[in-house]
Amino acid sequence: METFDRLWQGLAVKYLTPGERGAFFGWLMKTQFEGAGSGSLLSDDKASEIFQSRMCNSESMKFETLSLDAFKCFEAFFTFCNGVAGKLSSKDPSDDQVATRDTALLGVDALWSILAQVRGGEGEQ
């Protein structure tokens, strides 16, 4: 986890360029959710911890300048963590649509903050 902490600080928080930050979030999504057969980068518990402590943190995620890559990563963790917690369900795993089983979703306040702060395409590209 220490290595991940250094990666997060260097590439998500103290990045040099928006492209560097976007590449980090793309890598995180790919290694966590697209590693078919090889397992995920983080356990379910660690993924939930990172989602709630870092991705739902405005200072860490910089909601006001959130890039599309960062938002897609947030969205993937939001869906995953709420699914694992039993708060969302899907009839078809290949379908992007999910049903809410519990309205007390993990990260919903952060999602509202993102929506309130990102103004029509003015985030980092």
pTM, two decimal places = 0.85
**25 CB burial (10 A radius; 0-12, 13-18, 19+):** buried
* Per-residue pLDDT, 125: 45
The predicted pLDDT at position 40 comes to 80
Interior/surface letters 62-100, b for 16+ CB within 10 angstroms, e for the rest: bbeebbebbbebbebbbbbbbbeeebbeeeeeeeeeeee
Domain that holds residue 34: 2-117
Residue of 103, 107, 101 lying closest to 76 (CA atoms) = 107
**20 belongs to a structural domain:** yes
Q: Please report, in tens digits, the pLDDT of each residue of the chain (125 residues total).
A: 789 999 999 999 999 999 999 999 999 999 998 865 556 889 999 999 999 999 999 999 999 888 899 999 999 999 999 999 999 887 665 667 788 888 899 999 999 999 988 765 544 44
Cα gap 81→83, rounded to integer Å: 5
Beta strands in 42-101 (DSSP E): 88-89, 99-100
Q: What is the pLDDT of residue 124?
A: 47
Q: Is residue 125 part of a domain?
A: no
Q: Is residue 60 part of a domain?
A: yes
What is the model's pLDDT at position 118? Answer: 72
Per the domain annotation, does 44 fall within a domain? yes
Q: Specify the number of domains making up the chain.
A: 1
Domain assignment present for residue 124? The answer is no
Residue of 46, 54, 114, 122 whose CA lies nearest to 80: 46
